[in-house]
Amino acid sequence: MDECVICEREVETTRHHLIPKNRKESPIVPVCGSCHRQIHAVFTNHELKHRFNTVTALKESEEMRKFAAWIRKTNKRHVAVDETKRVSDWRG
Ligand SMILES: [Zn+2]
Ligand SMILES: [Zn+2]
């Protein structure tokens, strides 16, 4: 258990490489599965590498702020299969 750097929930986390495709040099941050999927769903690797390569930049982006606010309200600890639909509904 760790704290997700995006939604700040204490949950099981996955490792996100802040600089995609540069795994050796990239800093690694803990993000929950939901936020991680969202990061890669809304940003391309190119955008991540050049614009959202810090936790602050990711967290303050419009996309992730909205998502984090939403996911905190769901009280979901684990991402169930059906959450995929909820996520896509939220994204419209
Ligand atoms: Zn999260
Ligand atoms: Zn990642």
Q: What is the mean pLDDT of each run of 10 residues along the chain (92 residues)?
A: 93 94 88 95 93 97 95 70 55 57
Q: What is the pLDDT of residue 38?
A: 94
Q: Compute, in angstroms, the gap from residue 88 CA to the centroid of ligand 1.
A: 16
Q: What is the pLDDT of residue 58?
A: 97
Q: Compute, in angstroms, the gap from residue 40 CA to the centroid of ligand 2.
A: 6
Q: What is the pLDDT of residue 81?
A: 46
Question: Who surrounds ion ligand 2 at CB < 5 A?
Answer: 16
58 with 52: CB under 8 angstroms? yes
SS3 state of residue 14 = strand
Q: Compute, in angstroms, the gap from residue 51 CA to the centroid of ligand 1.
A: 20
